[in-house]
Amino acid sequence: MIFKSHFYAMIIFATIVSTLLAFIRYDKKKDILKYGLKIFLYMSVGVIAFSWVMHYV
Amino acid sequence: MYIGRNFSIIAAMEAMKAYNIFFLSWLFPGMGHIVQKKYLKGIVFLAGILLLLIFGLIMEGKFYDTKEFHPLLILGFLGDLGSGAFYFIIKWTGLGNGNIQAVTYHYGTTYMVSAGLINYLVALNAFDIARGKRK
């Protein structure tokens, strides 16, 4: 099952949540796309960064 | 004076309408937007929240319960309750009990509580649109 991979589970979660938050926050398509992408990158890059930190702590 | 009273009645009715839309949006995710002719947003919210719940169930996550009184469990329960009618349907069908032995248990639980928390934001957004504070 795809969800057994923590990475894929996180990516799917970040995709859905960032889409929903972007649609809540903005009305114009361009703004939605920009904000959604930004939130998605914050979430996914943030998780990878914290994972590395936890690996070394 | 008469005109003023009329205005206050209209304002009270508008406020009631906004609260009804908030309740409707909480009960059926996305419906508050659909009622206000924001079809695309309504469908996206409904689909997104349903996907989070379905994936959470596939991952054998659980809904928090209130059998033990603990502040964190209560907060989790309140988050889950945000899914509205879906919360009650899943509870009654017994699907939301979870399986703690599953590898994906914690992720599933997170997916399910997130669905509820996001639906609170969706309902507040519908409320703001109804009050004319947002487009």
Q: Is residue B14 part of a domain?
A: yes
pLDDT surpassing 70 at residue B1: no
pLDDT at site B13: 73
Confidence of residue B8 (pLDDT cuts 50, 70, 90): confident
> What gap in Å lies between CA B115 and CA B79, rounded to an integer?
8
The maximal CA–CA distance of chain A, rounded, in angstroms, is 43
> How large is the ipTM?
0.89
Query: If you average pLDDT over residues A4-24, what whole number do you get?
Result: 94
Q: Is residue B84 part of a domain?
A: yes
Q: Is residue B10 part of a domain?
A: yes
pLDDT at site B11: 75
Taking Cα atoms as reference points, which of A25, A1, A46, A40 lies closest to residue B58? A1
Query: If you average pLDDT over residues A7-29, what whole number do you get?
Result: 95
pTM above 0.95, yes or no: no
Q: Do A9 and B107 touch (CB under 8 A)?
A: yes
> What gap in Å lies between CA B42 and CA B19, rounded to an integer?
17
B135 touches chain A (CB under 8 A): yes
Number of Cβ atoms within 10 Å of the Cβ of A51: 12
For chains A and B, CB pairs below 8 A equal 46
Six token digits for residue A9 = 């589970």
The range of the structural domain enclosing residue B57 comes to 2-130
pLDDT digits (tens, 9 = 90+) for B92-111: 998 988 889 999 999 999 99
Looking at the structure of chain B, the number of domains it has is 1
First-to-last alpha carbon distance for chain B, in angstroms, is: 32
Domain positions in chain A: 2-56
pLDDT at site B65: 82
Q: Is residue B135 part of a domain?
A: no
pLDDT surpassing 80 at residue B5: no
pLDDT digits (tens, 9 = 90+) for B48-101: 999 999 999 999 999 998 787 888 889 999 999 999 999 999 999 989 888 899
Q: Do A19 and B48 touch (CB under 8 A)?
A: yes
pLDDT at site A15: 97
Q: Is residue B76 part of a domain?
A: yes
Q: Which chain A residues contact residue B111 at CB under 8 A?
A: 13
Q: Which chain A residues contact residue B108 at CB under 8 A?
A: 3
